[in-house]
Structure 1
Amino acid sequence: MSRTAFSTAADGRVVALCGGIGGAKLALGLSRVVPSDRLTIIVNTGDDFRHFGLHVSPDIDTVTYTLAGRSNRDSGWGRDGESWRFMEAVKELGGESWFGLGDTDLATKAVRTQRLAQGARLTEITGEIARALGVGCTILPATDDAVATIVDTDEGALPFQHYFVGRRWQPRIRALRFDGAERTRPTREALAALSAEPLAALVICPSNPYLSIDPMLAIPSLRAAIRAVRAPVVAVSPLVGGKAVKGPLAKMIGELGHAATLQTIADHYADFLDILIADEADSGAAVTGPKTLFAPTLMHGLEQSVALARTVLAAADAHAADAKS
């Protein structure tokens, strides 16, 4: 796919599509390389749901806490230094305890829910919370409307959190659907970020393509905007040696009838992808379609996240230079 970039990654804007833990690690690296006023992270909301009457946005919160340096480094989700007295009391009362809400994380959900009730958009609230926690770059939900990821399994249709957390992704998947996506509009801020000039790169973070990225791509006008991007589109594979770094991806790919290979990832993004960056462990794999580069992609700490971010932006720069020559 040929596109003409407007400028180098050092001078232009960078937009990233991101889900939860793995994507948030690369978003953190990007936030250390790209000036804050030039970086926008568009985040999945397909796993948002209501719990105890509160609006829970797991991926938005994971990205926000990670970029704020407030995330739980052991689990990858929730806040650091968390306490769990609320959940202990819920269990004592015989309430639903399958989805954990830490005490300080609960404050985020309560503030979000209150602001929504006051008429604020999810986009506005996400920005307010991010700024309050010291995040400099822009974090945007893909949409202010409701999109619900539903997992059709051998146990029936399960809302995403009931599949992922409640059943620990053990039921066999038959199909995925994204209720509401067809009639949903992306936020005007997300569309503006994707059409901004100069845009240096669009980055697809190493999030689960089916659970974290597809709920965004299922929004027709958002996918159209992504396909219209003229900057290089770079995806980082979430597979390493045919296995998922974390979560059910490899299991899901097989249950959906595909092979857990780089080609499957490349094909999944085939209508807009320019460059696929895969781990060195897969360096013998042949991939048709996008240009494929191999580099260390495991992010065990900030140093590796920053190194991978630099690799992604260097690949975008090289692609843009080739397009101009």
Structure 2
Amino acid sequence: MLRNAKIKYLVVRTHGLSSHLIDPSELRSWIFIEDDRALFDKISQTSYGGFFEKPEDLSDPVKIGEVTMRVNFIRANKLISIARASPLENILRVYMSKYDLENIRRIVFSLLFGRLERVSLLPHPGYLYDTAKLSKAERLEDLLDLIEERKLSSLISNWLSGDRNTSELDLILTKVYIDSLIKPLKRGTPLYEIIRSYLENMTLGLLLKAKYLGVSNDLIIRALSGVPFKKLLEAVSQSGDLSDFLDKLLNIAPYREVSVEVRDSLRDVGEPWVIEHSVLKRAYTEAVRISMMSPMSEAYILSYLISSEWESQSLRTVLFGRISGVSKDTLYQLLSPRGE
């Protein structure tokens, strides 16, 4: 009874937090604002406004990435604070631990390839892993000793003893994340369905990126063995380059639409960030659909975090598109709901 009351309270609070997200149609309208000051004034009225100091910041890719990440961390931290001491707190922390793993990846590469300056980390000390502490390691051996989760430490150690393919480490860390997030969940619940959908899209994006970079099928399959998305793994194992992989996805009904969007976006924009954009749009659309079927379940809380990530991705797309000179029509299509 008390657990159900706590979950209901969390969901109600999350509905309130959702009301502060930027309306997607409003965000799309910013594409057509020509003046930098006018766009800066619009953004200043949102959660991002406190972190952009001047209009020139809107043309700084590093600043854009940092600001959008900070806003998502603030929102997630708020939810975790509300969920403290409930079973959902750990789920939220595990969900956000993807950013811990990204920081660990950066620390590994910094130590491996020589630290010329302080490693640039995502602006958060860690949700499951104390990445602030890990960043102080002076040697790879010290880092492995500091990582308390022995499975993760062992996987990184094995990778270091191999040919140290950077793409392989990305795949390994994603597999760690997928396993840690989905395995404890009860199948058939709305929470399981929304997380499984999110992880499926994360895997899709990772495979598209791997194909874009020319990573071998053997390496992909070896690193992702056991991931519960068999159709994706079968398609990637049977394909050659990225174009061939997209052709395979065209023949699998659930992936047909996103494969067309990725192909068209790469053709029109020519930059790999559109892969992440298109896949996150799919993740967002499916998260909203699942959460609306159970609006008072834990799934709605995860849907809020995914919606926040999509909002930040949309803002990055608007700003990166301006920097790169992408046409307004192309940007508008990228931000429009699937099927529109």
Name the TM-score, length of structure 2 as normaliser: 0.30
Name the TM-score, length of structure 1 as normaliser: 0.31
Structure of larger gyration radius: 2
Q: Which structure shows the bigger proportion of residues in strand conformation?
A: 1
